[in-house]
Amino acid sequence: MRLTNEAGGCLLRFALKWVLRTAVALCCLLAVLLALYRFVPPVSTLMLARWVTGRSVERTWVSLDRISANLPTAVILSEDGGFCRNSGVDWGALREAMGEHSAHPRGASTLHMQTAKNLFLWPSRWVVRKAVEIPLALLINAVWPKRRVIEIYLNIAEWGDGIFGAEAAARHYFKKSAADLTPREAALLAAALPNPLHRNPAAPSAMQSRIAAIIMARSRARGDRLDCVR
């Protein structure tokens, strides 16, 4: 019995050491990627998954200067109105969402959190993923300026089956560069983000058109006050 207990203790210590070393290695890798992606165009987990499974990926990286200002404005006002002032997490919205006893508080997801999910995590809305997403979002906010966050988000967001980023989306749906998107086209792209596989910006449903109209109205009301991405 003593030998069995000792063997069990050795196995437990070995497992704990392995878990600790793995965690340290993952943290080091994350730190390297966060520093690298501050300057280098990143690749999202969804893109990697498609490449691994032999599916096509349509994405052309463009700098924020080559994306019409209409698009970041529309996306921020649609997805994360507090983007310019929050710390990567909207704690008030998160508390409200969790107070509704929801395991999937999507409405509390900031652009930092969505960027963290797209870059490093998986698409499930499982609450455990959200718990990992939050510290990643805080790290991203600490390491990258807001302008870089929105630049990366707009280049990795999925806008259709295998269509990633603003440039690919603009060319696919509107046959033009992302630099030339009109306010309505930008609003239609933003309205598609919650369900990009089933919402076509070029042939919007009545609901999508209404959402786009709301986004455009918010944009006109806000004017040029989104200084954090200029």
Same domain, 48 and 27: no
- Looking at the fold, whether 82 and 184 belong to one and the same domain comes out as yes
- Asked if 110 and 138 sit in the same domain, the reply is yes
Torsion sign, CA atoms 173, 187, 207, 130:
positive
The pLDDT of residue 19: 66
Radius of gyration of the chain (CA): 20
Q: What is the average pLDDT across 181-202?
A: 96
Q: Which residues face 163 on adjacent strands?
A: 58
Determine what percent of the chain is predicted with pLDDT higher than 90. 63
Over residues 145-172, the mean pLDDT reads 97
Number of domains in the chain: 2
Whether 6 and 57 map to the same domain: the answer is no
Mark whether 76 and 26 lie in a shared domain.
no
Residues 6+ positions from 182 with CB-CB distance below 8 Å: 68, 70
- Kindly state whether residues 127 and 102 are assigned to the same domain: yes
Residue 208 pLDDT exceeds 60? yes
Q: What are phi and psi of 163, to 5 degrees?
A: -105, 115
What average pLDDT does range 199-215 have in this prediction? 96
N- to C-terminal Cα distance for the chain?
69
Report the sign of the C-alpha dihedral through residues 201, 126, 112, 107, in that order: positive
Write out the H or E segment, with its range, that includes residue 42.
Answer: none
Residue showing tokens 């440039």: 167
Here the tokens at position 154 are 């707009």
Q: How far is Cα 165 from Cα 155, in angstroms, rounded to an integer?
A: 4
pTM value?
Answer: 0.86
- Quick one: pLDDT band at residue 191, thresholds 50, 70, 90? very high
Q: What is the mean pLDDT of residues 80-85?
A: 91
Task: For residue range 14-23, list pLDDT tens digits in order.
Answer: 666 666 676 6
In terms of pLDDT, which residue wins out, 126 or 153?
153
Q: How would residue 226 be classed by pLDDT, with cut points 50, 70 and 90?
A: confident
The answer to which of 42-46, 136-140, 209-213, 224-228 has the lowest mean pLDDT is 224-228
Confidence of residue 31 (pLDDT cuts 50, 70, 90): confident
Collapsing DSSP to helix, strand or coil, 40 comes out as coil
Same domain (yes/no): 104, 146? yes
pLDDT, tens digit, 9 for 90 and up, residues 103-141: 444 557 899 999 999 998 876 666 677 788 899 999 999
Q: Does residue 146 share a domain with residue 220?
A: yes
Are both 109 and 142 inside the same structural domain?
Answer: yes
What band does 95 get if pLDDT is binned at 50, 70 and 90? confident
Range of the structural domain that residue 20 is part of: 1-37
Q: pLDDT tens-digit profile of 34-50?
A: 989 999 999 999 999 99
- DSSP class of residue 55 equals -
CA distance 73 to 224: 9
Is there a single domain that holds both residue 144 and residue 221?
yes
